[in-house]
A and B are shown apart, each in its own frame.
Chain A
Amino acid sequence: MRKIGIPEIEDIALGAALLGAGGGGDPYVGKLVAIGAVQECGPVTMLDPDEVPDDALVVPIAMMGAPTVLCEKAIGGDEYKTLYDTVSTFYGKPIFAFMPIEAGGVNSMLPIAAAARLGLPLVDCDGMGRAFPELQMVTFTIGGGSATPMAMVDEKGNSCIFRTVTNKWTEELARSVTMACGGSVSVSLYAMEGKFMKEYGVRGIVTRSEVLGSAIRKVKEVTDKTPEEAFLEITEGYKLFKGKICDVLRDVRNGFNFGKVVLDGIGDYKGQSAYVEFQNENLTAVVDGEILATTPDLICLVDTETFTPVPTDALKYGKRVMVIGLKCFPLWRTKEGLDLVGPRYFGVDTDYIPLEERCKGGC
């Protein structure tokens, strides 16, 4: 158990941008929502998953809709109370704690705001260990968990909770409600008991995010090694490539942002070329025709000087980036995990081989 205040939020937000693996939305506005809640209601208590009783009700919090709309309407503040009432009434028991469903991007921040405003603890755990674009892409799906009963509320006070027959229906209904409510809503989904969370959740991910954020912030203070060495050491990252962006191809279909960024090698990689393909998040990293990493391992682009993460919507010609790979949560590497988020699900025709094996013998 420990307290999360404003300095921790700053680091978690920066780490969340890295864990977004190119997507997940800019955590900036989420960070302000979390800071606003903590300024008003005080710091948040964060629990280790083992501190949560097996039968306690744990509820992940997220936003659904367009980050552009969130940047304009933000959060009203009362949504989390409405979510609390809706969900606890439905289950007939109080919510014990909140948690993030995804640790990458803007959704990393909102559960902190919810916990602060309700005076409830936050659990150091999520269902992805990164960001993914679709509703069912959580470790809890592997354990047989369901997104529904899913509660949705808007800032005006409208709320609903629905049970659906398939994930496809959940997406369909959730999108309609989101649009009708003005393009951005707060949701709770995959409500679960403590025991289930401990079994399938990605433990310690909020702390990991904070460590990553603080590593990026302090990288220039390192004296005994180069900033790059320090960065790779703390993140446990595999350096896949370093290059200059020489082309960005984009295509927006069905609300998803598809594309490919092409890099010309610089420094030790001069003369080599690489590309990274993405669908909101980065999917594959290919150097000189050889695949070095694929989803569900994290592929992150960072600025070569500041090591700040570069999301897919900020890719532009001429920018110098380092491509790094981070190992995904082990459960994603099982058959069930790969069926959900493996390369073939995203239309990439290759078997999943763990990052550390692909990179054996140096990248």
Chain B
Amino acid sequence: MGHARKIEDLLETAGRTAAGSAQALRGALEFTGRVAAAALSGIVRPRSFRLPDFGAVFLRTGAEAVPVTLLVGFLLGFIIAYMSAAMLNKFGAEIYVANLIGLALIRELGTIVAAIVIAARSASAFAAEIGTMVVNDEIAAMRTMGIDPVRHLALPRIAAGALALPILSLFADLAGLVGGYITLALFGYSARIFLTNAFAFCSAGDLATTLAKGVVFGVLISATGCRCGLETGAGSDAVGKATTSAVVTSLVLFIAADGLFALVSSAIAA
């Protein structure tokens, strides 16, 4: 009797979890469809795209994130270079730190730094802004006026994220290279030698891939922030939950997407 009850509970929990996951997946697909429809409508009728909103969000998402991106990129480049140099110096191979830094930043780390900055600053901000509008009935008011919140609020934010992230990743690359160079300068290497080595293993294809990844991550992170905001529930803690969910989900999603990019790149290279 006891075992039967436990199995019953287990099955019920599994069923509820599966139903919840299916509902979440359905919600995500619906939102993706609505964003795609809004984007298509923006392409077909460019005047329907809210350019002033896009500009304001781009400033907040991109321009205002430059200082923190530069700082994090610089520190990351400096730390990696310093730790690698300390190790490679034992073999007289510290010059390869430049190759390591160049490759790591341009292929991976610059984009990851920018993605983390945007997830922390903007996905949370999007969820909080839109979530507060849900709680204050502003989204409901929009619907009664025939205004599509996805087109009006989400699309400019997603477009801003898609444009800002690759640009920020270039800033992160630049700052990381400066951090790496400062380390190698301590070992007596010139800027010319550093730069020659830093770009020795990098190709234009690497840069194109990193920019493409930036666009994809920007879309994923911004869309997650907007979706979490639009799905904010009722109550005083709902906005906090939406904000936390936006940051956590967007981090997981972009890391997963990065893994996918790595797999596809390897498959293409093989």
Note whether A and B form a binding pair.
no
